[in-house]
Structure 1
Amino acid sequence: MTTRILIYAWVGAFTLGTLYVNAQTKKHQPVDAKIDAVIKKLTLEEKIKMLHANSKFGSAGVERLGIPGLMTDDGPLGVREDVKENWSSANLTTDSATFFPNGSALAATWNPSLAYRYGHDIGEEARARKKYIILAPAFNICRTPLCGRTYEYFSEDPFLNSRLAVQSVKGIQSQNIAACIKHFAVNNQEFERGRVNAEVDERTLQEIYLPAFKAAVTEANAWTIMSAYNKLRGVYCAENAYLLNDLLKKQWGFKGIVISDWGGTHSTVAAANDGLDLEMGSFGAYDNYFFANPLLDSVKAGKVSLKTIDEKVHRILWVMYHTSMSENPSPGKINTPQHVTTAYDIAAESIVLLKNDKQLLPLNTSHIKSIAVIGDNATRTFHLGGFGAGVKVRYEVTALAGLKSRLNNKVKITYAQGYKGVYKPMRKNVPNEPDKQDTTLLNEAVTNAKSADLAIVFIGGNREYESEGHDRKDLSLPFHEQELVDAVTAANANTIVVFVGGAPYDLSKIKKNNHTIVWSWYNGQENGNALADVLVGKVNPSGRMPFTFPAELKDSPAHALNAYPGENLSVEYKEGLMVGYRWFDTKKIEPLYCFGYGLSYTNYQYQSITIAKKAYKAGENIAAVIKLKNTGKFAGKETIQLYVSKANSMVERPAKELKAFKKVMIRPGETANVALSVPVKDLAYFDTKTSGWVVEPGKYTLLAGGSSGDIKVTGNITVVN
């Protein structure tokens, strides 16, 4: 075949990176000159002390030269409370913060402007707390629905992740606070995360697992990045020269600090020479860290050059000049009404309506006089819990409190716990006690449901069940929740199921047997108010799923191919590019809920797609306008999703890939003409032979709709030489 191809030598990824570095160097020359002058005044011992932790979240400065230490703190749910050396609370009265919705909730909004507001507000709060590096956002690809940190990450799609990551980083750094994007790279499971080796082919790495990191660096200029715990191709990420030196620093032009995950460093010489800049850890004896006395000895022995040390110090000072030593910084703000509004808006736009067959929603309070609210998640809070970082909040509105607030005295509300949401982790060589249904709680729930006009059952996970540090064993509902739903539904035909979680679960029986299902998240401190406003119709639900729900776990690609959790501490990414909806659409496997799925209280009619012209060349942008009408009775926000497909490609491709999206408000009866743009370069695949990006000429199909499984209008274009 003699088909010519367009090789994007911009000029190649390396050249682009070089141009970026040169531009940035020129731009920051005055700062660089200041830094060089400071470095000349530092002793070797002072330099080494700047390269490792000296407290749980801090590293040392140099007092005699007026160089402050660097203070970091956890995100991504909000600025973490201060802790002691044993990780217990410092019991301060000055370290509260706003609790923002979890990562997959933010992704479910499909709204980059909310991602910017989230970043701006968390950055403003970090500055008020004098935490100059915020360890957020986290956006590893959701490869398996079982991953314990799926709730913390964004989505299964690199494009959606990229758009949200860029805006989050820009928002954070607008406050002269460094965003620490994480975890670099392919940290897709918690099982054996500290030792597991990920074997990923280069094209998959470049097209699926790196794009959001690359965008956060090259578009948003992220100032810090955290290396992952795991290995990539046999080398720990904290000492992986290909990731840290070749890709990140040389090709992408990253100027900031590579920070280890806490306890994620495994060597001195290799880590120092291969790209790590700052070692952080969880426990004391800081002088014994790899980058402490052992690094000092390695420099004196000639195993690590002074030039390498100076480069690391330069990077740290560069970040300081943008954060703690920046000129005219704002003082920061915390727990403001504006921050609360942001938390509310994210929560309100994240909630997904999964089913509404009986039209019980929005609630018609003129016909409903009593509601039985049932379930542990109706009164549970989510700002703390599990192994991951939490937030000390001044308040968190529970679902029950939100309903009572919004319904006032219009409706009689009763509450029954229904189940105990107590997570019992498996302990090695110690069998768990038999997990039994609490019949007293179940019977109380059924009694309440029978006597009410309507029942709302709140089930799902919680911050202990979905947590950093462990993966779930399967997709089943925890805490005997299915039995509770079945019993309440049998007692009251008007039962609404509200599921609270941050990752896919097996909802197949509920989808089959229940007519009304709502998906919520660990949705920040305004959780209850936002959810209540959706249920009563003040807010039309506009959340769309950021990942695919498999009908069965074995349908999910990593599990279908027996490629999770790996063998002998190594996991091969056998599915390659076919992650999430790419797998389901290409293999024609019907999921329980597809990527991008979500219903509304209104209806949107997609009428047409108009493409500006039929043929496009390299360097151009494909311009498309999707026409749709709100044919229902409610104003609502619709997320128009534009996918691209290439038939008869010379390389393997998924059936379709997301390339653009836009969320718009449309009033009842109104028609919207939504313009979307796709750069031709975004049609490229990564060619492992040339290590460059290639746009294949030929026919492409643009597919627009409300989800990956609900394509409404299509059009064709041709890419020409």
Structure 2
Amino acid sequence: MKYKQLIAKMTLEEKASLMSGKDFWQSQDIERLGINSIFLADGPHGIRRQAVSSDKLGLNAGLPATCYPTAATVANSWNAELGERVGEYLGEEAISQKVNVLLGPGINMKRNPLCGRNFEYFSEDPYLTGKMAASYIRGIQSHGVSACVKHFAVNNQEERRMSIDTIVDERTLREIYLTAFEIAVKEGNTKSIMSSYNKLNGTYTNENLHLMKDILRGEWGYNGTVITDWGGSNDRVAGLIAGNELEMPSTSGETDKEIIEAIKNGTIDESVLDECVDRLLELIYSTEGVYQNPRVDFNIERHHRVSQKVAEESIVLLKNEGNILPLPFGKRVAVIGDFAKDARYQGAGSSIVNPTILDHTLDCFEESGILSIGYEPGFERYGKKSPKKVAAACALAKEADVVLLYIGLDEVTEAEGLDRQSMMIPDNQIELLNALHEVNPNIIAIVSCGSAIEMPWIPKVKGLLHGYLGGQAGARAILRVLSGDVNPSGKLAETYPLHYRDTPSYQNFPGGEVSVEYREGLYIGYRYYDTAEVDVLFPFGYGLSYTTFEYSDIRVQEYGVTFKLTNSGNVAGMEVAQLYVGCQSKDIFRPKKELKGFVKVFINAGETKTITIPFDDKTFRYFNVETNQWEIEEANYEIMVGASSADIKLSKSFFVKGTGAPLPYEKEKLPSYYSGKAQDVSIEEFETLIGREVPVATWDRSKPLGYNDTLAQCQYAKGVSARIAYYSIIFSFWFLKKIGKRNTANMIMMSIYHLPFRGIARMTGGLVNMPMLDGILLMVNGHFFKGLRKFLRERKKKLLIVK
């Protein structure tokens, strides 16, 4: 242990106190030993240090900070160097705001397009996600602060996220859901990791010894700190045994007592606590420059310009019929859509950033060189239909050569704590588009949202530019692409299916009341669509340019693949060349192809460059469930280089010597997985894959409600007061949406409806302790007066202790 001597000076009580927060945003300090608190702040795409004091929880306004494009946006750049630059600027702002630990990046897989937090996550592919995450981490930590990679692991939905049990087979867990974390640990060297709320195969992730001990600490050699998500601790002692150092937020010493008691009664050895304290001290001392150095203001204008550069390189051109883009000089354009006036530039929830500057489209036209003849909102932002606004928009469109139509999803549709209800944009926007098409067919749609959407209306637009969520400078960046000042180079980091029903997890999202089964296994995103030969709207890795590129002269050697890339057009541009690998053996089921490398290259018009994409330890491996380790299957592999997963330009067969591992599966028992048609796997076949029975996915209504049941389950409670509370929550949600208070309505669902009862104690900073919660549960389970007496008695005890 690095801090053995310092730890020896601590009392048992002091060591235990370090294992939970001092308040909502700070760790505990020990003044007599010179151990300072560290400050943790939200911020995957910008710093959200709350302007209110750190003893306040909630989504309060943060101090002004640069709002960079979200992770879902930057992933479309396919530029790890750009990601590192974003990280460097985030780290600089963290230092400026005295933040030791920046809670990001988020690297969970986009298993399903409806996950409400997809805007915070990079991709459906673990390799691309891992490489982008590692670059962010290196940039952030170059300033002496810590990144905190989240949410570890298999947290791929928001509904019931604090209680859901994720059922997944070991190979899928390793290859799809843990690979990005592995890269973040080994290549990014992240100093801290945030555990997720959910269970994994029956055990909460921060208590899961297989996940935390065997894999994270053992196989990956991780020596950093594990921090719970806020309120994400279930059994504090079990978490400590698993190696979860810091519980957030504060529990006012309640869980410290649990740790002390466990050591005194021999449940755990004090050395376990000492090791956790040692790792936390390393996080504290490795980020101490934050509070030792004087505060330095960052250059707001320069950071804003960097945000714009990142947005420009992440914008994806999806359609350009008749080369309607870039807009020729002198074209008269009508600007239509509410998002043109008030830009949609970030998601909602804990990641909300208070921007230092905010560009809006209407304020940037003069410098863009685009000739605007006027603006009309065309639609109500939150879905209400307005024939008057549609008529005004159509009148303006008639006078224009081209219509710039700004559409997408609003802020409360994509939000932490809630999953989307459909993949469609609101009906009122589609009706506006249909009406505009009748009067002017030259429509360029600019889409703003953080995740995949259905586009049945796409035949009615000639140009389609996807800005995703481009941060505070995104509006200006879009205009620079429209005008041709910037040649678009973004490519999709996720597949756009034709219909939601085509997605591989369609049958199993968001799962049952208690658990969610990942029956599709390895086949998420393009791995499914390509293997099962399902048509898509836009494939993974797709994106157009104002120039053209030609691939030639592929060569494959032991170290990697080399080829030539030529800009065959008339405009300088950047191309993302993608390496895919497919095993030609059929002995072990695999996706048809998997991303194993990529490179983004700037090439002048007419220029040719020789490109090399190296192989690495992940190029040919698969996880063998028989040997319980990574193996290589001896076979011929197809080495493919392309412009997207569906646009392979070059390929060559290459023989790879294997490790000689036994075959892990009986082929005839897993027909869906060997065919790749894994959207509708039977429970029997899924149980064969995981090697055990799946748990019952419905709540057992015969049992009394307990700590890990959610407030939503009060609908089944024996106590009348609990059922009244449930219907009050439902009515409040409905009523607030009805009167336009959608943000508040969403907060109810995020913070109350899906909250486990233990969260009442874990998320209130000690205002409600577990004995008081026992009283609440007595009331919920039909013993109202007995429960009320216990609650009041325990509350009185607590107040006396505080005094």
TM-score with structure 1 length normalisation? 0.88
Query: By percentage of residues, which structure has more helix?
Result: 2
Match of 2:604 in 1: 667
Q: Deviations over 1:124-171 (max 9, x none)?
A: 111111110000111101000000111100000011011111111111
| 3-state SS of paired residue (1:59) | coil
Map 1:80-229 onto structure 2 (within 5 A). Answer: 80-84=48-52, 85-87=55-57, 95-229=63-197
Shift of 1:508: 2.5
Secondary structure at the counterpart of residue 184 of structure 2: helix
1:604 aligns with 2:546: no
Map residues 286-365 of structure 1 onto 2, 5 A cutoff.
286-288=252-254, 291-324=255-288, 333-365=297-329
Q: What is the aligned partner in structure 2 of residue 420 from structure 1?
A: 380
Q: Which residue of 1 aligns with 2:691?
A: none
Match of 1:481 among 417, 422, 429: 429
8 A Cα contact 1:456 1:497, kept in partner: yes
Point out where structure 1 has 5 or more consecutive residues left out of the alignment: 1-31, 423-434
Secondary structure of 2:180's aligned partner: helix
Gap change, CA 1:285 and 1:312, over 3 Å in 2: closer
* 2:744 matched residue in structure 1: none
Matches within 5 A, 1:259-658: 259-281=227-249, 286-288=252-254, 291-324=255-288, 333-366=297-330, 368=331, 370-382=332-344, 386-407=348-369, 411-422=371-382, 436-478=384-426, 480-510=428-458, 512-559=459-506, 562-612=507-557, 616=558, 621=559, 623-658=560-595
Change (3 A) 1:639 1:51: same
Q: Which residue of 2 aligns with 1:703?
A: 640
Structure 1 residue 39, shift from structure 2 partner: 0.8
Structure 2 match to 1:429:
none
**2:629 aligned residue:** 692
Inter-partner Cα distance in structure 2 for 1:385 and 1:665:
30
C-alpha distance in structure 1 between counterparts of 2:550 and 2:345, whole Å: 39
Q: Calculate the aligned-residue CA RMSD, in Å.
A: 2.0
Which residue of structure 1 aligns with residue 201 of structure 2? 233
Mean Cα deviation higher: 341-350 or 530-539: 341-350
Contact 2:443 2:460 in 1 (8 A): no
C-alpha distance in 2 between matches for 1:682 and 1:331? 44
- Decide whether aligned partners of structure 1 residues 200 and 173 sit closer, same or farther in structure 2, where only a CA change above 3 A counts: same
Q: For residues 470 and 461 of structure 1, do their structure 2 counterparts lie closer, same or farther at Cα, with a shift above 3 Å needed?
A: same
In 2, Cα distance between equivalents of 1:134 and 1:627: 40
Cα–Cα, structure 1 residues 452 and 681, in superposed 2: closer, same or farther, change >3 Å?
Answer: closer
Contact 2:20 2:251 in 1 (8 A): no
How many angstroms does 1:579 deviate by?
Answer: 0.9
SS in 1 for 2:129: helix
Point out the more displaced range, 253-262 or 36-45. Answer: 36-45
Select the residue among 26, 47, 50 that pairs with 2:18: 50
Structure 1 SS opposite 2:322: coil
State the secondary structure of the residue aligned to 1:392: coil
State the alpha-carbon separation in 2 of the partners of residues 404 and 255 from structure 1: 53
- For the residue of structure 2 that corresponds to 1:477, the secondary structure is coil
Partners of 2:100 and 2:576 lie apart in 1 by: 35
Q: Are the counterparts in 2 of residues 387 and 464 from structure 1 also a CA contact under 8 Å? A: no
Give the match's secondary structure for 1:48: helix
Amino acid in the other structure paired with 1:539:
V
CA distance in 1, matches of 2:180, 2:360: 33
Amino acid at match of 1:564: F
Hey, what's the Cα distance between the residues in 1 that align with 2:290 and 2:5? 17
- Amino acid of the structure 2 residue aligned with 1:398: H
- Cα distance in 2, alignment partners of residues 167 and 37 from structure 1: 35
Identity of aligned residues (%): 38
TM-aligned CA distance change 1:680 to 1:97, over 3 Å: closer
Measure the CA separation in 2 of the matches of 1:332 and 1:140.
33
Note the alpha carbon deviations across 1:249-308, whole angstroms, 9 max, x for none. Answer: 122111111100001111122122122111113xx65333xx333333333333233212
1:448 Cα deviation after fit: 1.3
One-letter amino acid of the structure 1 residue matched with residue 529 of structure 2: F
Hey, what's the Cα distance between the residues in 2 that align with 1:124 and 1:324? 14
Is 1:40 the counterpart of 2:4 in the alignment? Answer: no
Q: Distance in 2 between matches of 1:371 and 1:493?
A: 13
Contact 2:345 2:470 in 1 (8 A): no
**Worse-matched range after superposition: 57-66 or 435-444:** 435-444
TM-aligned CA distance change 1:346 to 1:695, over 3 Å: same
Q: CA contact under 8 A between 1:402 and 1:531: conserved in structure 2? A: no
Letter in 2 for 1:550: P
Superposed displacement of residue 493, structure 1: 1.8
- Cα distance in 1 between the residues matched to 2:87 and 2:61: 26
Q: Amino acid of the residue matched to residue 110 of structure 1?
A: W
Shift of 1:456: 0.4
What secondary structure does 2:444 align onto? strand
Distance 1:43 1:571 in 2: 43
The verdict on how the C-alpha distance between 1:285 and 1:217 changes in structure 2, with shifts beyond 3 A counting, is closer
**Structure 2 counterpart SS, 1:70:** coil
> Aligned equivalents of 2:410 and 2:365: distance in 1?
20
Q: Is the 8 A contact 2:24 2:56 kept in 1?
A: no
SS at structure 1 position matched to 2:419: coil
2: distance between equivalents of 1:524 and 1:718? 45
User: Residue type of the partner of 1:531?
Assistant: I
Contact 2:167 2:517 in 1 (8 A): yes
Q: Which amino acid aligns with 1:464?
A: V
Q: Please report how far the alpha carbon of residue 377 of structure 1 lies from its aligned counterpart in structure 2 after TM superposition.
A: 1.2
AA aligned opposite 2:22: N
Q: Partners of 1:476 and 1:563 in 2: how far apart?
A: 19
Report the AA paired with residue 279 of structure 1: E
Q: Show structure 2 runs of 5+ residues with no match.
A: 659-803
Contact 1:128 1:331 in 2 (8 A): yes
Aligned partners of 1:413, 1:275: CA distance in 2, in Å? 62
Check whether the contact 1:240–1:275 (CA below 8 A) recurs between aligned residues.
no
Residue 227 of structure 1 and its aligned partner are, at CA, apart by 0.4
Q: CA deviation digits over 1:588-627, x for unaligned, max 9?
A: 0111110000001111122231224xxx4xxxx2x22221
Change (3 A) 1:89 1:269: closer
CA contact (8 A) 1:138 1:152 kept: yes
Determine the C-alpha separation between the residues in 2 that align with 1:640 and 1:132.
Answer: 37
Instruction: Give the paired residue count.
Output: 656
TM-score under structure 2 length normalisation? 0.79
SS at match of 2:535: coil
SS of 2:445 mapped into structure 1: strand
Q: Distance in 2 between matches of 1:452 and 1:506?
A: 28
Aligned-pair CA distance for 1:43:
1.5
Query: What letter corresponds to residue 419 of structure 2 in structure 1?
Result: D
Conserved in 2, the CA contact under 8 Å of 1:456 and 1:495?
A: yes
CA contact (8 A) 1:272 1:304 kept: no
